[in-house]
């Protein structure tokens, strides 16, 4: 899956198109109405390429990790920290198309799931741990006087 911002030109797609024109494993989805079952189903059966110029903590990376989907990304946001110790997932040193193509080729050759789910749990980012943290935070907020 090539993930690009929907509100920008698909410059990243065109940059990589020549490298993957004959690759049956690559899917380009320029616009899609996201339904969570659809997203997880697509992630489980594919690979993620993230070429964003700016990110904070990209949700697609965490979702891909949760289902064991291999990831190739540029060094953006917290992706490098998230992928420490995750098998068959890589962060490129540059934004060079050749380097990214080589990493994608490596992922396709290995053709296996990742241990991303274990890393998500280790980082405390699975649904249960996030929900527990939110409950703890919300329970510490004082009630307004009119609710007492």
SS3 call for 17: helix
Whether the CB-CB separation of 43 and 67 falls below 8 Å is answered with: yes
Question: pTM of the entire structure?
Answer: 0.67
Task: Decide if pLDDT at 71 tops 80.
Answer: yes
The C-alpha atoms of residue 2 and residue 9 are separated, in whole angstroms, by 13
pLDDT digits (tens, 9 = 90+) for 18-32: 444 444 444 444 554
């Amino acid at each position: 899956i090539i993930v690009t911002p929907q509100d920008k030109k698909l410059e990243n797609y065109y940059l990589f198109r020549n490298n993957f024109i004959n690759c049956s494993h690559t899917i380009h989805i320029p616009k899609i109405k996201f339904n969570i079952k659809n997203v997880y189903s697509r992630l489980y059966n594919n690979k993620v390429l993230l070429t964003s110029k700016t990110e904070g903590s990209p949700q697609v990376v965490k979702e891909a990790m949760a289902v064991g989907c291999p990831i190739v990304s540029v060094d953006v946001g917290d992706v490098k920290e998230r992928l420490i110790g995750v098998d068959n997932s890589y962060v490129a040193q540059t934004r060079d198309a050749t380097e990214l193509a080589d990493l994608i080729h490596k992922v396709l050759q290995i053709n296996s799931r990742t241990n991303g789910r274990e890393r998500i749990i280790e980082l405390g980012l699975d649904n249960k741990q996030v929900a527990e943290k939110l409950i703890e935070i919300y329970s510490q907020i004082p009630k307004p006087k009119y609710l007492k």
